């Protein structure tokens, strides 16, 4: 049994309990979570790197984790959401946390929570911190769940923060302009500490907030950046921002193992963060090369081996869909592209589909579960309104839609699965099950 009678003894039991109590609802604000965090009285001497932004967070977390592990540091990494198993959210030294470690973390939160309500994400964030504190780590990487300023991850002061990009998403919670969203993202910055912005055109609100609190703001294209050719790329930065001091250059870098034209934006932001922390966490360029060459992030422009080609991408907002469309364009020639699409109702469906419409010949539309999930039938008109051409077929799940795509696609064709973490997760589960038969 857990610490108290009646508490679950398994991870599966804990997740079911948290879903039953609070579901997956979003409830921004730090007062409740801070009260429980303070009661836990759990601390760590590890350096903390917090990563926020609309897109690119998962890639930056994976790059940082890979580089720091290559350098020999003990690394904790907290990300969300997961694709297949909850354990993916909490990683120690490159491995998913065990069920037992997570159960201990959930129990540590519950032991002091009292009658303070916590959401599923908030309870999980505090539990992850308890797991990391027990592991005696050198560095902890924390990915923001939503926004930044009021996200539970922002309870933990970062030694360095990264905002990867600022685009339109989660507008019901963060505001309906880039300026409003940029201010929320900038909430993870800290006074007197490095704040890295990977967006070359940040909203004025983000810049102003960083200046107001006295953060050391590094902006892509102004204070650091990259260049390259087909074989390799190079990184550069000024000695200090804004664009001051000697120019530092690092050349001869192999391209990140992560596919996609946007990954050098992410990689250069990650290297800048490490350069800012170099006195505390020294990392050689050889470690950078190793980390970037080996990094993997399932579901981010993930191209599976075999024919027809299968591309998995969790793109669910227009910025991410634009990057996906660009990456598909650079893949080479495929006679037909079959899209497996499932989306949530609170996403910009038309914005996503408009950017993908020119890349898709056949649409296989899937129902997604839960109160936020869109029915495939409702997607038909919205895809058409966004300029989607070709035939459209509806299915009860992404896995069913993917199976139909596999039957219909020819060997030289391409299948693209996108629109939501739920869509990619369902297809990945089906692929795994098929391999085990």
Question: How does pLDDT run across 1-40, given as a tens digit for each residue?
Answer: 344 557 899 999 999 999 888 755 666 779 999 999 999 9
What angle separates helix 99-113 from helix 11-22, to the nearest 10 degrees? 40
Phi, psi of 97 (to 5 degrees): -60, 150
Query: How confident is the model over 66-87, as pLDDT tens digits?
Result: 999 999 999 999 999 999 999 9
The secondary structure element, H or E, covering residue 399 is helix 398-408
Q: How confident is the model at residue 168 (pLDDT cuts 50, 70, 90)?
A: confident
Give the least confident one: 347-351, 369-373, 375-379, 392-396: 369-373
pLDDT at 409 over 80: yes
User: What is the predicted pLDDT for the residue at 26?
Assistant: 65
User: What is the predicted pLDDT for the residue at 172?
Assistant: 73
User: What is the predicted pLDDT for the residue at 23?
Assistant: 57
pLDDT at 57 over 60: yes
Neighbouring residues of 404: CB distance < 8 A, sequence distance ≥ 6? 364, 393, 395
pTM of the model: 0.90
pLDDT at 229 over 90: no
User: What is the predicted pLDDT for the residue at 227?
Assistant: 92
Query: How confident is the model over 132-153, as pLDDT tens digits?
Result: 999 999 999 999 998 889 999 9
pLDDT > 70 in the chain, percent = 97
414 near 337, Cβ under 8 Å?
yes
Q: How confident is the model at residue 375 (pLDDT cuts 50, 70, 90)?
A: very high
State the chain's maximal CA–CA distance in angstroms.
62
Beta-sheet strands, E only, within 232-347: 233-240, 244-253, 302-304, 309-312, 337-341
pLDDT at 310 over 70: yes
Phi, psi of 417 (to 5 degrees): -110, 120
- Give the whole-angstrom CA distance, residue 214 versus residue 207: 11
Q: How far is CA 289 from CA 3, 139, 213, 282, 284, in A?
A: 45, 19, 34, 14, 9
User: What is the predicted pLDDT for the residue at 403?
Assistant: 97
Peptide bond into 81 cis (omega under 30): yes
Give mean pLDDT, residues 247-267: 88
**Most trustworthy range by pLDDT among 278-282, 318-322, 369-373:** 278-282
Neighbouring residues of 164: CB distance < 8 A, sequence distance ≥ 6? 51, 52, 53, 54, 55, 56, 57, 59, 60, 198, 199, 265, 266, 269
User: What is the predicted pLDDT for the residue at 371?
Assistant: 87
User: What is the predicted pLDDT for the residue at 24?
Assistant: 55
- Give the whole-angstrom CA distance, residue 317 versus residue 329: 18
For 435, the token pair is 């391999």
- Arithmetic mean of pLDDT over the chain: 93
User: What is the predicted pLDDT for the residue at 1?
Assistant: 36
- Give the whole-angstrom CA distance, residue 103 versus residue 57: 26
Neighbouring residues of 391: CB distance < 8 A, sequence distance ≥ 6? 362, 363
User: What is the predicted pLDDT for the residue at 5?
Assistant: 57
User: What is the predicted pLDDT for the residue at 228?
Assistant: 84
Q: Which of 423, 323, 412, 398 is nearest to 361 (CA)?
A: 412
pLDDT at 376 over 60: yes
User: What is the predicted pLDDT for the residue at 3?
Assistant: 45
Beta-sheet strands, E only, within 99-201: 139-143, 160-163, 194-197
């Amino acid at each position: 049994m857990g610490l108290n009678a009646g508490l679950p003894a398994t991870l599966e039991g804990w997740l079911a309990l948290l879903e039953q109590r609070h579901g997956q609802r979003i409830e921004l604000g730090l007062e409740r979570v801070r009260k429980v965090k303070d009661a836990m009285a759990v601390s760590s001497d590890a350096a903390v790197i917090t990563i926020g932004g609309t897109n690119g967070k998962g890639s930056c977390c994976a790059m940082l984790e890979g580089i720091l592990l290559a350098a020999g540091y003990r690394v904790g990494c907290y990300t969300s959401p997961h694709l297949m198993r909850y354990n993916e959210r909490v990683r120690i030294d490159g491995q998913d946390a065990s069920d037992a470690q997570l159960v201990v973390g959930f129990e540590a939160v519950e032991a002091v929570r009292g009658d303070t309500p916590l959401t599923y994400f908030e309870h999980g964030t505090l539990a992850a911190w308890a797991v990391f504190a027990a592991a005696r780590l050198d560095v902890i990487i924390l990915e923001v769940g939503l926004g930044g300023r009021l996200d539970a991850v922002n309870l933990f002061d970062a030694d360095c923060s990264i905002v990867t990009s600022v685009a339109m998403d989660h507008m019901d919670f963060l505001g309906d302009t880039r300026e409003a969203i940029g201010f929320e993202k900038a909430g993870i910055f800290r006074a007197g500490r490095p704040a890295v912005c990977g967006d070359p055109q940040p909203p004025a609100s983000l810049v102003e907030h960083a200046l107001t609190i006295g953060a050391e703001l590094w902006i892509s294209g102004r204070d650091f950046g990259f260049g390259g050719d087909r074989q390799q790329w190079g990184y550069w930065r000024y000695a200090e921002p804004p664009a001051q001091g000697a120019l530092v250059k690092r050349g001869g870098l192999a391209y990140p193992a992560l596919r996609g034209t946007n990954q050098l934006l992410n990689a250069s932001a990650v290297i800048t963060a490490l350069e800012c922390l170099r006195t505390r966490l020294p990392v050689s360029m050889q470690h950078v090369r190793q980390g970037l060459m080996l990094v993997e992030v399932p579901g981010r422009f993930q191209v599976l081996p075999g024919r027809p080609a299968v591309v998995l991408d969790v793109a669910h907002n227009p910025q991410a869909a634009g990057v996906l469309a660009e990456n598909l364009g650079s893949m080479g020639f495929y006679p037909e592209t079959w899209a497996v699409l499932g989306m949530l109702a609170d996403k910009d469906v038309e914005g996503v589909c408009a950017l993908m419409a020119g890349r898709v010949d056949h649409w296989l539309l899937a129902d997604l579960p839960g109160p936020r999930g869109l029915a495939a039938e409702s997607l038909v008109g919205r895809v058409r309104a966004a300029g989607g051409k070709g035939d459209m077929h509806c299915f009860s799940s992404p896995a069913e839609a993917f199976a139909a795509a596999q039957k219909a696609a020819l060997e030289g064709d391409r299948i693209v699965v996108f629109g939501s973490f739920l869509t990619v997760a369902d297809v990945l589960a089906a692929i795994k099950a098929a391999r085990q038969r």
